Amino acid sequence: MKDAKVIELDEVAIRFSGDSGDGMQLTGTLFSDATALLGNDISTFPDYPSEIRAPQGTVGGVSGFQVQFGQKQINTPGDYAHVLIAMNPAAVKANAKFMKPGGTIIYDSDAFNEKNLNKANFKTDDPFGECNLDDYFKIPVPISSLTKEGLKDFGLDNKSVLRSKNMFALGLVCWMFNRPLDYIEEFIKNKFAKKPVVVESNVKVLHDGYNYGMNMQHMTPSYLVNPANIEKGTYRNINGNHATAWGLLAAAEKSGLELFLGSYPITPATDILSALSERKDLGVKTFQAEDEIAGITSAIGASFAGDLAVTTTSGPGLALKSEAIGLAVMAELPLVIVNVQRGGPSTGLPTKTEQSDLMQALYGRNGESPVVVLAASTPSDCFWYAFKAAKIALERMVPVLLLTDGFLGNGSEPWRIPKMSELPSITPRVAKDAGSFQAYKRDSENLAREWAFPGMAGFEHRIGGLEKNETGTVSHDPDNHQKNTEIREEKVQRVVDMVPDLETCGDDEGDVLVVAWGGTYGHMISTVRELRKEGKNVSLAHFNYIKPLPKNTADVFSKFKKIIVCELNLGQFASYLRDKMPQFEYHQNNKVKGLPFTVNELKQSVYKLLED
């Protein structure tokens, strides 16, 4: 037999794609976890339809999972895939535009029949020609029939047999990219421990796919991607929603408080509720409410009672929570609101990513209702910003709104698990002196009031949505309302002393400053690094603190000839910056397709700005 061709790569992007029921999300996750355990840096992007089960074989029902990994720092899942695993013709049609020129397509040849070609609306029997994929390296593999052959003695029905074909594809890709099967086997054994036949059949098919790669190595090249040089420590592959949950757990431990989460399930935020509901061993209390309003009001009640209180949601749910957020503002209670943004408006694109809730986070309540607004940048740093949101809320007695998004919440990357000793302290503002206690008496430096809750003798006070004076008595006095409205805004602004200075990636001055916020960080930093390698005088200023803005923001902006604000909406952060710092001119690059930016399109927008 001809020796296998081994191709060494610095980085590679693989896209698994098939019907919603083909198990592509699980396949991609297992491959990613196995890759992370080998020491490669990775970034993932799950991409799936909002329908629970779209019509089988149609383009609308295609579910995909892209992972990029390498021996250097990986910040994005990759603009285009080097390798596509397509379980049917619809997967080819849906993903042709995401393929790197000259890439490899591995496809289940059994599924490429007339029936499935028609379902995917191909006009001929040549789907690759129709999608302009003639110059790509195509590897037909009879995945379905080989799976059936491998499991013919297991006594399983046809539907159960075909449910395992994703494991054949996974085994084949593991051989191609030199991934060991140990972790995947262990996962299968643990997940299906009560169903021995499912364990045996899936492990069998997994090895069949791996062995097929070995036997057919003359047509399936093997790729070598060496481990990355990363900081020593204990790592795990983590997605943004789980990182958020862990950040809240860490904050509860650091503050010495019990954690309460009151939420209503909503895509793509539900995993935070699920993750925390499993941690009763750490004293976590979770309440799955009947609606969004009940979710946040239960959290406000828990805050009044002395818990670290959290509610989680996505865009439509944030709209429903707006009145209750105003209640927390008026009552000046600590509360963390996590909004995992998705495509809108209304139910919009439930499973797609977007950054279009910024204005809602900043202004989407009646009256003058200021809250602190933070935004996480990567799946793993959702941990830190969840922790920081809790710290600010508890130490400044103010609601904090943390913005993540579907790309961060579902995407994953390796994360070095910190020691608790590495995290800063959290000191809740619990009232101590009953003799001098007044409900709305404030700290002269940060304007925060003290926190007193039921059961604390001598600290009884009125609380609620009505305006009050310093003693806590309901007040309709016009001057008192003016004064308190200004104080509540100033209290949020004074949180700036907890906000680090804005730093630039690149030089401190130059031709173009790329400005962005939140979950676009990976694509932005990759774009700026590539442009700087090309000799372009371009830098990046990426924001995690939206309200208040870092105090040196204007100083940073003033040192660049041009500023371009890039965001996944129609220009909300650009509008906010024009309002706060109108002395600068802001160019824009906006995308609202339910997809992340690509590095290539970002580079094109900067090229154009440099040429003007």
Alpha-carbon distance 143 to 106, whole Å? 10
Q: Is 284 helix (H, G, I), strand (E, B) or coil?
A: coil
> Is residue 312 domain-shared with residue 269, that is, in the same domain?
yes
> Is residue 598 domain-shared with residue 535, that is, in the same domain?
yes
**Domain-ending residue, one of 201, 224, 247:** 224
pLDDT digits (tens, 9 = 90+) for 446-456: 999 999 999 99
Average pLDDT over residues 371-384: 97
**Domain-ending residue, one of 197, 224, 251:** 224
Alpha-carbon distance 348 to 350, whole Å? 6
Q: Is the pLDDT of residue 61 over 80?
A: yes
Structure tokens that stand for 576 in this block: 């906010």
Average pLDDT over residues 503-511: 97
> Is residue 83 domain-shared with residue 200, that is, in the same domain?
yes
Residue 83 burial (CB count, 10 A): 21
Q: Is the pLDDT of residue 6 over 70?
A: no
Alpha-carbon distance 575 to 607, whole Å? 23
Q: Which of 201, 196, 170 is nearest to 183 (CA)?
A: 170
Alpha-carbon distance 367 to 322, whole Å? 11
Q: Is the pLDDT of residue 140 over 70?
A: yes
Query: CATH code at 42?
Result: 3.40.920.10
> Is residue 315 domain-shared with residue 398, that is, in the same domain?
yes
Report the Cα–Cα distance between both ends of the chain, in Å, rounded: 58
Q: Is the pLDDT of residue 225 over 60?
A: yes
In a domain, 473, yes or no: no
In a domain, 449, yes or no: no
- Quick one: pLDDT at residue 152? 94
CB 354 within 8 A of CB 384: no
> Is residue 546 domain-shared with residue 412, that is, in the same domain?
no
DSSP output for 353-416: ---TTHHHHHH-SSSS---EEEE--STTTHHHHHHHHHHHHHHHT-EEEEEEEHHHHH-EEEEE
pLDDT digits (tens, 9 = 90+) for 276-303: 999 999 999 999 999 999 999 999 999 9
> Is residue 134 domain-shared with residue 249, that is, in the same domain?
no
Length of the chain: 612
CB 450 within 8 A of CB 333: no
Average pLDDT over residues 83-93: 96
Q: Is the pLDDT of residue 218 over 60?
A: no
> Is residue 307 domain-shared with residue 199, that is, in the same domain?
no
Query: CATH code at 517?
Result: 3.40.50.920
pLDDT class for 19, splitting at 50, 70, 90?
very high
pLDDT class for 565, splitting at 50, 70, 90?
very high
Q: Is the pLDDT of residue 423 over 60?
A: yes
Q: Is the pLDDT of residue 1 over 50?
A: no
Structure tokens that stand for 181 in this block: 């099967």
Buried b / exposed e over 39-74, threshold 16 CB at 10 Å, is: ebbbbbbbbbbbeeebeebbbebbbbbbbbbbbeeb
Alpha-carbon distance 234 to 415, whole Å? 8
Alpha-carbon distance 378 to 520, whole Å? 8
> Is residue 218 domain-shared with residue 162, that is, in the same domain?
yes
Beta-strand runs (E) in 20-113: 41-47, 62-70, 81-86, 99-108
Q: Is the pLDDT of residue 419 over 70?
A: yes
Lowest pLDDT segment from 52-66, 371-385, 529-543: 52-66
- Quick one: pLDDT at residue 217? 66
In a domain, 538, yes or no: yes
> Pairing relation of β-strands 308-313 and 335-341?
parallel
pLDDT digits (tens, 9 = 90+) for 473-497: 999 999 999 999 999 999 999 999 9
Q: Is the pLDDT of residue 2 over 60?
A: no
Out of 128-142, 381-395, 458-472, give the one with best mean pLDDT: 381-395
Backbone angles phi, psi at 24, to 5 degrees: -70, -35
Alpha-carbon distance 259 to 428, whole Å? 13
In a domain, 231, yes or no: no
In a domain, 409, yes or no: yes
In a domain, 273, yes or no: yes
- Quick one: pLDDT at residue 79? 93
Q: How far is CA 414 from CA 43, 348, 378, 607, in A?
A: 8, 31, 11, 32
Q: How far is CA 5 from CA 327, 420, 612, in A?
A: 65, 47, 47
CB 336 within 8 A of CB 245: no
> Is residue 306 domain-shared with residue 396, that is, in the same domain?
yes
Alpha-carbon distance 8 to 5, whole Å? 10
| Percent of the chain surpassing pLDDT 70 | 98
In a domain, 111, yes or no: yes
Quote the pTM value.
0.92
> Is residue 182 domain-shared with residue 302, that is, in the same domain?
no
Alpha-carbon distance 188 to 163, whole Å? 14
Average pLDDT over residues 429-453: 95
> Is residue 76 domain-shared with residue 54, that is, in the same domain?
yes
Query: CATH code at 356?
Result: 3.40.50.970
Alpha-carbon distance 65 to 32, whole Å? 10
Average pLDDT over residues 508-533: 97
CB 491 within 8 A of CB 448: yes
pLDDT class for 221, splitting at 50, 70, 90?
low
> Is residue 512 domain-shared with residue 607, that is, in the same domain?
yes
**Domain-ending residue, one of 224, 252, 272:** 224
In a domain, 485, yes or no: no
CB 90 within 8 A of CB 49: no
The boundaries of the domain holding residue 253 are 236-422
CB 325 within 8 A of CB 371: yes
Residue with tokens 């707006």: 322
* Number of domain units in the chain: 3
Q: Is the pLDDT of residue 53 over 70?
A: no
Rounded mean pLDDT of the chain?
Answer: 94
- Quick one: pLDDT at residue 257? 98
DSSP 539: E
Alpha-carbon distance 191 to 206, whole Å? 15
- Quick one: pLDDT at residue 3? 46
Residues pairing with 516 in the sheet? 542
According to the 3-state scheme, what is the secondary structure of 400-433? EEEEEEHHHHHCEEEEECCCHHHCCCCCCCECCC
Q: Is the pLDDT of residue 50 over 90?
A: no
pLDDT digits (tens, 9 = 90+) for 171-207: 999 999 989 999 999 999 999 999 999 999 999 999 9
DSSP output for 162-202: HTTHHHHHHHHHHHHTT--SHHHHHHHHHHTTT-HHHHHHH
